[in-house]
Amino acid sequence: MGNLLEIKDLYVSYKTFEGVARAVNGLNLIVQQGESLGLVGETGAGKTTSALSIMKLLPPRTGKINQGEIIFNEVDLTKKFDKYLQKIRGKKISMIFQNPLTSLNPVFTIGEQIGMVFMQHYNLSKKDAWKKAGEMLEVVGIPSRRSEEYPHQFSGGMRQRIGIAASLACRPDLLIADEPTTALDVTIQAQVLELLKELKQKYNTALIMITHNLGIVAELCQNVAVMYAGSILERGSVTQVFRHPMHPYTKGLFASLPDIYDKKDRLNTMKGIVSDALNLPEGCPFNPRCLCVMEKCKLDRPKLIKIKPDHYVACFQKNKLEVKEIE
């Protein structure tokens, strides 16, 4: 299988009043055709910025890709302009946003909004597009007669289904879901995840699932990448990373999570707070919070190193970590 998307050494920053916020710092990521990748991290880890960079939807004046390549289907998107990108967005790559109420236009019916995708990419007439939109709604479990209604007439879970319908309308190669269920209740979240899983299989779409919820990754994804301060600290298959987390940050993250199938007496806490993009530490971005920090960590930045066929870690303590693993 070929690489559908390859991000090479990407740097993105935002101009703010307080200075330059370095949101993404040396991101490397590969997504293969039909793969489902979970991109996890805490607030401010650069997850959403990475997604917006792929779509080139960064805020025009403040956000900037400083360096790096985003190769999608063998084309470097960073060098392309709107005219080309508009053909890609929604057709080859689409995105589902966190808040379905703000990502849908309140003054258009949902039939019109989904229909627009078909009109834009397939030059369908309004009538045909409307019909297609109705079919798409049925796919996500909403009766097509409701296409005449407006977003506010739907509940949160339904709105997210509409978002999914619009984003999958053209059967894209890659779907980026940015925290699609964070705003939803658990039972509704389960419905939406089930739908995503089903449609992903049906259309063989590659999926980047951006979330802070590790449980969702465990249920939905084959692979996972753990992001922190704009770069990836650990990457691998879900089985490998969830069973044997290696990076001190990933380990800390797992130990600090309460789980309903697991009884922890006390939650682990990580010292300090997520590093500030305005003022990133030298060397490894995690070094101020790391429990096994060395001198070297404060000077150099570790690269992702392969430690098992499907497991990569960016940490100088790699050898030590492996030893622990064998014991």
Partner 1 sequence: MNEPLLEIINLKKYFTIEGRGLLHAVDDVSVEIPGGGNTLGLVGESGCGKSTLGLMLVRLLDPTSGKVNYKGKNIFSLKGRDSKKMRKKMQIIFQDPYSSLNPKKLIKSILSEPFIIHGIVKRKIIEEKINKLLEILGIAKNILTKYPHELDGGKRQTIGIARALSLEPDFIVCDEPVSALDVSIQAQILNLLIDIQKKLNLTYLFISHDLSVVKHISQTVAVMYLGKIVELAKTEELFNNPLHPYTKALLSAIPSIIIGVKREKIILKGDVPSPINPKPICRFFGRCWNASKDCQEMEPSLELKNPTHWVSCIRVPVKIKN
Footprint of partner 1 (CB under 8 A): 42-43, 155, 157-158, 185-191, 193-194, 212-216, 218-220, 238-239, 242-243, 252-254, 256-262, 264, 266-270, 273-274
Tokens 């392969």, located at residue:
306
Tokens 């790391």, located at residue:
290
Closest CB to partner 1 among 40 and 65? 40
Closest approach of Cβ 184 to partner 1, in Å?
A: 9
Closest approach of Cβ 237 to partner 1, in Å?
A: 10
CA distance 118 to 124: 6
Tokens 């993250």, located at residue:
253
Residues near 318 by Cβ (< 8 Å), separated by ≥ 6? 246, 302, 305, 307
Closest CB to partner 1 among 55 and 104? 104
CA distance 92 to 4: 11
Closest approach of Cβ 258 to partner 1, in Å?
A: 4
- Using CB atoms within 10 A of its CB, is residue 51 exposed (0-12), middle (13-18) or buried (19+)? buried
Closest approach of Cβ 274 to partner 1, in Å?
A: 7
Closest CB to partner 1 among 43 and 123? 43
Give yes or no for a contact between 151 and 159, defined as CB atoms under 8 angstroms apart. Answer: yes
Closest CB to partner 1 among 107 and 267? 267
**Residue 34 Rama label (left phi>0; alpha psi -120 to 50; beta):** left
Closest CB to partner 1 among 123 and 269? 269
Closest CB to partner 1 among 93 and 137? 137
Closest approach of Cβ 255 to partner 1, in Å?
A: 8
Closest CB to partner 1 among 129 and 220? 220
Tokens 């053909």, located at residue:
87
Closest approach of Cβ 223 to partner 1, in Å?
A: 13
E strand or H helix at 215, and its extent?
helix 214-220
Closest CB to partner 1 among 121 and 159? 159
Q: Over the Cα atoms of the chain, what is R_g? A: 21
Closest approach of Cβ 63 to partner 1, in Å?
A: 23
Residues near 21 by Cβ (< 8 Å), separated by ≥ 6? 13, 14, 15, 277, 278
Structure tokens at 289: 């919070």
Closest approach of Cβ 259 to partner 1, in Å?
A: 5
Nearest to 9 by CA among 72, 86, 65, 73: 65
Residue 246 is classified by DSSP as: -
